[in-house]
Amino acid sequence: MKILQCWDDGVTSDIRLCELLRQHGAKASFNLNLGLHSLQRGNGWNHEGHDVLRLARTELTSVYTGFTIANHTLTHPYLTELDEQTIEHEVSDGRKQLQDVFNQPVYGFVHPFGRYDNRVLDAVLKSGHLYARAEGNAVQNFPPDDPLEFRSTCHFLSPHFWQLYEQSKEIGVFYFWGHSFEMINEHMWHQFEQTLIRINEDADAEWADIPELFMN
């Protein structure tokens, strides 16, 4: 079974996450909004009493070396509330700028807030993306009926994570997602590391980069 994972928003806790993933040989995709990264760490918010900061633009390439980068638009807007020209700018320029910064092709897209309509899907397709993560979670057949509405299996903190993991073996793909800032204490970080270890101990499991599934 192919194991896929992706993480949103480009925050400072991704530094620790990337180190942990490298330690356990786990592939991952990081979904970034390049227009929200400044020269200094910032554009932050608070999550359950903890300050969350986006990485400085100058940190991005070193933090994410070796991982897949996906487009989460330039500024994470509600795309369905925008006109077509602005949608195209958010989607296509988001991809172009990420490719320029990371010097790697960007094939994936993640719909901000899970919101999209036909105009958004057209912009995602025309700008060169191969797949897009849509709203909601599902144990679904692979390949999906529409790669631009590819749904994850579950959130990494789902209480049904391992049940869904086992169910997904019949399909051959298990795909989880999250935000690293959701791990707010050492116990949660330890639990996630145990998840990586358990996956690595499963002879039926193999880490995979998401784009490679859509290129074959």
Task: In whole angstroms, give the CA distance from residue 129 to residue 147.
Answer: 10
Tokens of 18: 């990337």
CA distance readout (Å), 204 to 72, 169, 195, 199: 31, 8, 15, 9
Please check the confidence at residue 135 and state whether its pLDDT lies above 90. Answer: no
Q: What was the pLDDT predicted at 99?
A: 98
Q: What was the pLDDT predicted at 136?
A: 87
β-pairing verdict for 50-54 and 42-47: antiparallel
pTM, whole model, 2 decimals?
0.96
Chain centre to alpha carbon of residue 188: 19
Please provide the average confidence, as pLDDT, over all residues in the chain. Answer: 96
Within 10 angstroms of residue 41's Cβ, the number of other Cβ atoms is 16
* pLDDT grade for 100, boundaries at 50, 70 and 90: very high
Within 10 angstroms of residue 45's Cβ, the number of other Cβ atoms is 12
Q: What is the CATH number of the domain that holds 154?
A: 3.20.20.370
Look at the chain and report how many structural domains it folds into: 1
In the chain, the percentage of residues whose pLDDT exceeds 90 is 93
Q: What was the pLDDT predicted at 216?
A: 67
Strand partners, 31: 8, 70
Structural domain boundaries, residue 172: 2-215
